[in-house]
């Protein structure tokens, strides 16, 4: 029965998994994994090597092979969940229930079908939980302690939240203090063996292209402790745990929202019965499991997710990713709760089978929802947007990217797909900054010493731009130091930065732009048809819309049916207001552009496509939108 | 045995889903081609190829269709898009080997020359710089950060090796009473795999 259940989930996960890289970090993770490099801090060396291992599979492209890592470790975690429940309840029908509950949970499914390290992290955590439970049931065995210590070491080579398992494990070890202390030196040794996988960072951290290189002790600690993120570094986050006790209120509130959005309402009473049931098994099991749940829900939320006002992208990155272990613990306790109920059905053997099986089946029906909101099979948005930009740029261009969605996708195309290597992409931190980081021009020397890019690297931006080879995803605006020399001109999902004195005729510009009409249309078709509830796809598509509107305006129309004013005002990095109407827009103090779109039969289908993209990418489709600060602001 | 069944399910599901995608995408590409949208059609064939399944007839069909379309495109920019798309698709399929790898040389030559022509057309550099520009473009294209297949496979398999060796040491060696022979055997394996792992990381 378990095998059947897991097989069914395996099929569904494969069906809904991403077939080209997904939005967010995927482009970077695939690039780092395939080149055996390092991902963003903390580097994730273990995950990099597992990705590399799967990249040798002869199925699909490199992105699909790497998403199989998530699928496989999801299934393994579900199997461990089944084992833990079975060890505790000795009831194989009841043990299916938490597997069904977790397997179709919104965030668990979501993380199982994209390239991300959270399911590997969950698998390691779940193994430690299993051995903790085995200790509580079967009694102390030093092998369990040594193995768990080894796994704890390994958590420091993947996502560091795995190390938080030390809290429930310490609680459990209080019951076996003498034996645990006796084996502590040996445990420490195995812990070090596990953590030694971080040597990957030393050996690969400066050998090939990596996001933040490791070349000495200091840079190693910068990456390992995520010091580059300043307030978001591992140490700062831990320090913050001891301040602002009121944060626990928001942490609890946010955790409840997350659970409510992942599980059906009837799971909550089962969860409460499950806690009671866990203590009924034994005090050790009760304490161990509740500490585990509290650590990965309340404490983790206090550390990372306890602000009174949380932005939409933090809801996506936090709520949808960090709390898989909490969802795991919740499902486990629900399973124990169901066991508690089923125990009362002692008189009828049939009901003891029928109740858990029908409960599991009922829960499992949520897979219909997941095949819509977490289906990445046909979501080519990230791939498409990035490729459309690169394809449209003239040979030997510089392209200034902004934000992970644009930066990481460009890395994937350049370093893995080896597409448009004649384009040098640079991170550009904000519209008011002239700092350009040439991470998309690796090896830098190759580009710096070339004839093609010599003017740019000598700092002659304006001279370089006069050849029409400087592009930026961000709209240059005051006080950007480049603004006096360059002006924005709409291009394919980016701006051509042209010298202020360069005059290109409207007709010539339109002709150049319309050459790429098809690719832009393809991207917009992708944006209008994908069904996934994926915030970063929404952001990418919305960000691309004004460029598409500009293109529509450039289509020659013989007999216009009417005209539309399109007014775009930049209110901050990556944020803008659009006015679309038949009357002239009101004057605004924000910088931006205005243009007229003449609508006729020639561009009516494109304008309809614009509206379809707009409708398909409403922020409101994001599950957590109603809890975000943006929603509250919009309501006001 | 149970795990083998699950591996089989994963493999069969992958083949089934990818083949289904390939078939659908090729059909979509064909329809777009009829309606004259060549670039979108190429992108559909590209996606069909990205859903690669070994021995699938759709792989060759997608490759052939893209390859036939490239010379027919009017704009040089579109030709560049076409040739380079096919080249990049093949690189995205690379594992121990690159499927249809024999086509890469031809595609690279086409891509390189088209880039050179386009650069010269748009920027009008002095004639004595043509060679330099060609060399620049070629050196950009020649750069490939993909690590050595031999050494990187040594890395990932030796990683598995040393993790399993340590697991063996723990489970077999530290049972009661301690099995010193198992510990010694495990440690020897661990050291061998760990050394190979370090060497692989350095060499790859």
Model pLDDT, residue A40? 93
The DSSP secondary-structure symbol of A440 reads E
Q: B17-44: string of b/e by CB count within 10 Å (b at 16+)?
A: bbeebbbbbbebbeebbeeebbbbbbbb
**Chain A residues touching residue B39 (CB < 8 angstroms):** 518-519, 522
Cross-chain Cβ contact B122/A35 below 8 Å: no
**Chain B residues touching residue A143 (CB < 8 angstroms):** 170-171, 174-175
Model pLDDT, residue A435? 74
> In this structure, what are the phi and psi dihedrals at residue B2, rounded to the nearest 5 degrees?
-60, -40
Q: With a cut of 70, say whether residue B110 has pLDDT above it.
A: yes
For B:141-180, CB contacts with A below 8 A are 141, 143-147, 152-153, 155-157, 159-160, 163, 166-167, 170-171, 174-176
Model pLDDT, residue A191? 97
The strand ranges marked E within A344-435 are 398-401, 424-428
Cross-chain Cβ contact B93/A395 below 8 Å: no
Minimum-distance CB partner of A11 among B13, B95, B201: B13
How many angstroms separate the CA of residue A311 from the nearest CA in chain B?
34
Model pLDDT, residue A345? 76
Model pLDDT, residue A108? 97
**Optimal mutation site among B12, B36, B95, interface A, most CBs of chain A within 10 A:** B95
Maximum CA pair distance of chain B?
A: 82
> In this structure, what are the phi and psi dihedrals at residue B196, rounded to the nearest 5 degrees?
-65, -40
**Chain B residues touching residue A15 (CB < 8 angstroms):** 13, 17
For B:95-124, CB contacts with A below 8 A are 95-96, 115, 118-119, 122-123
List, run by run, the mean pLDDT of 10-residue segments along chain A (636 residues): 91 96 94 95 96 96 97 97 96 94 97 97 98 96 96 95 96 94 95 96 90 92 89 79 83 95 95 96 96 96 89 91 96 95 78 83 91 95 96 95 89 96 86 76 91 90 90 86 88 93 87 93 96 94 95 93 93 85 88 93 96 95 93 86
Cross-chain Cβ contact B47/A190 below 8 Å: no
Shortest CA distance from A423: residue in chain B: B140
**A540: nearest Cα among A505, A498, A574:** A574
How many angstroms separate the CA of residue A544 from the nearest CA in chain B?
18
Round to whole Å and give the CA distance between B118 and A379: 32
- What was the ipTM of the complex prediction? 0.96
Round to whole Å and give the CA distance between A367 and A125: 25
**Lowest mean pLDDT segment, chosen from A220-224, A582-586, B39-43, B127-131:** A582-586
Model pLDDT, residue A346? 66
What's the pLDDT tens digit per position in B153-163?
Answer: 999 999 999 99
| Comparison of pLDDT for A584 and B1, the residue scoring more | A584
Model pLDDT, residue A480? 81
Cross-chain Cβ contact A519/B39 below 8 Å: yes
How many angstroms separate the CA of residue A451 from the nearest CA in chain B?
7
């Amino acid at each position: 029965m378990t095998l059947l259940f897991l097989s069914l989930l395996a099929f569904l996960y494969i069906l809904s998994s991403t077939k080209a890289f997904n939005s967010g970090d995927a482009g970077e993770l695939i690039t780092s994994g395939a080149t055996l490099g390092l991902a963003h801090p903390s580097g994730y060396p273990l995950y990099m090597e597992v990705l590399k291992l799967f990249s040798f599979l002869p199925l699909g492209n490199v992105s699909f092979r790497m998403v199989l890592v998530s699928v496989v470790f999801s299934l393994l975690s579900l199997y461990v969940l089944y084992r833990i429940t079975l060890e505790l309840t000795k009831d194989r029908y009841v043990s299916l229930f938490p597997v069904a509950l977790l397997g179709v949970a919104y965030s668990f499914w979501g993380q199982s079908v994209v390239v991300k390290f959270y399911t590997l992290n969950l698998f390691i955590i779940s193994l430690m939980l299993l051995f903790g439970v085995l200790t509580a049931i079967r009694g102390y065995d030093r092998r369990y302690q040594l193995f768990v210590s080894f796994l704890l070491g390994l958590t420091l080579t993947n996502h560091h939240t795995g190390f938080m398992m030390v809290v429930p494990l310490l609680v459990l070890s209080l019951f076996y203090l003498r034996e645990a202390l006796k084996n502590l030196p040996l445990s420490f040794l195995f812990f070090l063996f596990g953590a030694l996988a971080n040597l990957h960072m030393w050996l690969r951290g400066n050998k090939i292209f990596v996001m933040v290189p490791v070349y000495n002790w200091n840079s190693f600690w910068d990456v390992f402790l995520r010091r580059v993120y300043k307030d978001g570094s591992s140490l700062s986050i831990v320090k913050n745990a001891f301040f602002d006790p009121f944060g626990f209120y928001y942490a609890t509130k946010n955790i409840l929202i997350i659970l409510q959005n992942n599980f059906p309402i009837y799971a909550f009473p089962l969860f409460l019965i499950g806690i009671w049931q866990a203590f009924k098994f034994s005090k050790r099991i009760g304490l161990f499991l509740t500490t585990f749940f509290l650590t990965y829900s309340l404490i983790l939320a206090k550390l990372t997710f306890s602000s009174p006002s949380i932005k939409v992208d933090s809801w996506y990155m936090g709520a949808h990713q960090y709390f898989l272990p909490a969802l795991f613990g919740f499902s486990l306790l629900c399973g124990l709760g169901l066991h508690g109920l089923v125990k009362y059905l002692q008189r009828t053997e049939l009901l003891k089978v029928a109740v858990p099986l029908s409960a599991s089946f009922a829960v499992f029906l949520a897979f219909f929802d997941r095949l819509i909101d977490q289906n990445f099979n046909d979501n080519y948005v990230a791939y498409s947007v990035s490729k459309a930009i690169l394809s449209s740029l003239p040979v030997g261009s510089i392209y200034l990217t902004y934000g992970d969605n644009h930066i990481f996708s460009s890395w994937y195309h350049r370093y893995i797909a080896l597409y448009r290597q004649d384009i040098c992409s640079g991170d550009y931190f904000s519209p008011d900054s002239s700092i350009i980081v040439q991470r998309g021009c690796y090896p830098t020397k190759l580009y710096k010493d070339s004839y093609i890019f010599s003017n740019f690297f000598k700092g002659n931006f304006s001279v370089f731009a006069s050849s029409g080879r400087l592009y930026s995803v961000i709209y240059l605006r005051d006080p950007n130091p480049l603004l006096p020399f360059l002006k924005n001109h709409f291009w394919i999902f980016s701006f051509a930065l042209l010298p202020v004195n360069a005059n290109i005729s409207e007709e010539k510009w339109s002709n150049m732009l319309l050459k790429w009409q098809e690719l832009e249309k393809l991207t917009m078709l992708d944006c209008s048809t994908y069904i996934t509830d994926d915030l970063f796809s929404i952001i990418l598509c919305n960000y691309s819309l004004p460029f598409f509107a500009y293109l529509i305006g450039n289509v020659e129309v013989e007999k216009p049916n009417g005209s539309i004013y399109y007014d775009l005002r930049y209110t901050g990095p990556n944020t803008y207001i659009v006015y679309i109407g038949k009357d002239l827009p009101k004057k605004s103090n924000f910088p931006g552009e205005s243009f007229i779109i003449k609508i006729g039969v020639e561009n009516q289908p494109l304008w309809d496509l614009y509206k379809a993209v707009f409708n398909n990418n409403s922020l409101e489709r994001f599950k957590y939108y109603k809890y975000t600060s943006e929603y509250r602001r919009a309501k006001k | 045995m149970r795990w083998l069944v699950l591996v089989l399910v994963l493999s069969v599901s992958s083949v089934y889903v990818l083949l289904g995608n390939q078939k659908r995408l090729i059909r979509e590409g064909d329809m777009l081609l009829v309606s004259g949208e060549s670039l979108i059609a190429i992108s559909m064939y590209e996606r069909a190829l990205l859903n690669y399944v070994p021995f699938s007839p759709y792989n060759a069909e997608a490759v052939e269709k893209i390859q036939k379309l490239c010379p027919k495109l009017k704009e040089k920019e579109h030709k560049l898009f076409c040739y380079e798309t096919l080249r990049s698709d093949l690189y995205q399929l690379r594992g121990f080997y690159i499927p249809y790898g024999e086509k890469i040389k031809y595609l690279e030559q086409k891509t390189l020359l088209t880039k050179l022509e386009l650069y010269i057309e748009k920027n009008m550099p002095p004639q004595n710089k043509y060679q330099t520009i060609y060399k620049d473009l070629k050196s950009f294209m020649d750069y490939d950060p993909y690590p050595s297949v031999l050494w990187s496979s040594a890395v990932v398999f030796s990683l598995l090796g040393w993790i399993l060796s340590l697991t063996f040491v723990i489970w077999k060696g530290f049972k009661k009473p301690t099995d010193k022979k198992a510990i010694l055997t495990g440690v020897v394996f661990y050291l061998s795999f760990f050394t190979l792992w370090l060497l692989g990381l350095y060499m790859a």
